[in-house]
Structure formats: structure tokens, C-alpha cells
Chains A and B, each alone.
Chain A
Amino acid sequence: AQSVAQPEDQVNVAEGNPLTVKCTYSVSGNPYLFWYVQYPNRGLQFLLKYITGDNLVKGSYGFEAEFNKSQTSFHLKKPSALVSDSALYFCAVRDENTGFQKLVFGTGTRLLVSP
């Protein structure tokens, strides 16, 4: 069965500093990996995904993520954090062998960017 772990409940970073939100996964086949962001009282917004190809994926709002197969990780990164990046971030995985596109989410990481 597929699973996702986000080991940090919260990440604190100062504005202008680089940020990393960690994600590791477990699947039986090849993974399809996604990052979503949830602002307060809002739905989930898609940020980026890894399906195949280049291990470094660029997404919305200057975010990027690096797929590392040997470490089964897909960490979300941004070179310079903004206060407006403060939100709840979810990593999700789908196993390529899952015929019905079942997406499994991590428990979420709250990002707080201080001015």
C-alpha cells in the first residue's frame, strides 16, 4: 500500500531565507508525487508534480521539488521565502499501479514565514 510521511508538523523560516518542507513516500511501483498548498479556510491548490523525467520539478509561486528515488523523498523547496507563503502544505503520492488514481496524502506541514 502507498503511504506518505511528512515528518515536520511545522517549519519556521524568516522571510528571504530558503525553505524546505520534507516528504518521503512508500509505493510498490513507480510513484506519481504531488504537492498541494492550503491557505486558511480555502481548498487545496496544486503546486507541482513529478511523474517522470527530470528529478527537479518547478511549480507555481517559485516553488520546486526534487525527486530522489534512492531516498524515496520529494522535498519541497523555495530559494527565498515570502510571508505570503505561510500556509499548510500537503505531499501526496499515487502508485502507478493503482488503477483508480487513489491519491494518498501526508499529514501536512504548516509553514510559518516570519517578517
Chain B
Amino acid sequence: DTAVSQTPKYLVTQMGNDKSIKCEQNLGHDTMYWYKQDSKKFLKIMFSYNNKELIINETVPNRFSPKSPDKAHLNLHINSLELGDSAVYFCASCSRGRAGRDTQYFGPGTRLTVL
């Protein structure tokens, strides 16, 4: 069984469109993340939710809006897509307990291409 899954795997769209990426984890974790990996493979955190509450928001344009309907899901909606949004977006999850010692587990990624 897939631990952290993302849909879609590939997303090709035109500038100015609005799109969503979905993430689901079946690990029973209470904390989920979105990361962006750029063309140079640099990986940077965007958002984190704990028990449906936003706890990390890293200077991301407000065109990006995460939504967590429940602990197992964290979706990312992007409005007015721009060329610079082209990247691979990774979802991850973790258990917040044990003073932050737990491992983050990553999904397979969603490759977003904005034309």
C-alpha cells in the first residue's frame, strides 16, 4: 500500500489557469507538508499543517492556498499559474509527537509544467 500518494503525477497547463494537486497519507500521521523542488533540484518547504491547522507558511505567494479537509489529506490549490511555478511539488507527512524526532515520508511528486 502506498504510504503517501499524490495526484496527478504530471500536470501540464497554460499560464493563468487554476489547478489543484491532492495528497493523501495512510500512515496515521498528524502533520503534512508541501515542498517545492525547482529545476536545480533545490527543495524548499512551502506549508505545513498539523491536525488541519496551518503551522508553517514560508513566504509563498498567496496564489498558493493549501487546504486540509482532514488529517490524512492536504491539497494545494494554485491560482493564476505563472511560468515560474513550473516545478516538482512533493507532499510529505510526519508524526508531530516525540519532540520532532520522527521521519518525514514523501510522496512521489507532481511535476507541474506551465506553458
Contact = CB atoms under 8 A, between A and B. Distances in A.
Interface of A: 32, 34, 36, 38, 42-46, 49, 51, 88, 90, 94, 96, 98-105, 107-108
23 contacts: A36-B106, A38-B41, A42-B109, A43-B4, A44-B43, A46-B103, A46-B104, A51-B101, A90-B43, A94-B100, A100-B48, A100-B50, A101-B31, A101-B48, A101-B96, A101-B104, A102-B45, A102-B56, A105-B42, A105-B44, A107-B40, A107-B41, A108-B42
A94 B102 CA distance: 10
A88 B48 CA distance: 24
Contacts, number: 57
Interface residues of B, number: 27
Given A32-B100, A96-B100, A100-B56, A44 B106 contact: yes
Given A32-B101, A43-B106, A100 B55 contact: yes
A105 B56 contact: no
A108 B43 contact: yes
A32 B56 CA distance: 18
Give 3 nearest A-B pairs by CB, closest first: A44-B106, A105-B43, A43-B108
Contacts of B81: none
Given A98-B100, A102-B45, A107-B41, A46 B105 contact: yes
A94 B50 CA distance: 17
Contacts of B108: 42-43
B94 interface: yes
Contacts of B31: 101
Q: Which has the most chain B C-beta neighbours within 10 Å: A36, A51, A103?
A: A103
B41 A44 contact: no
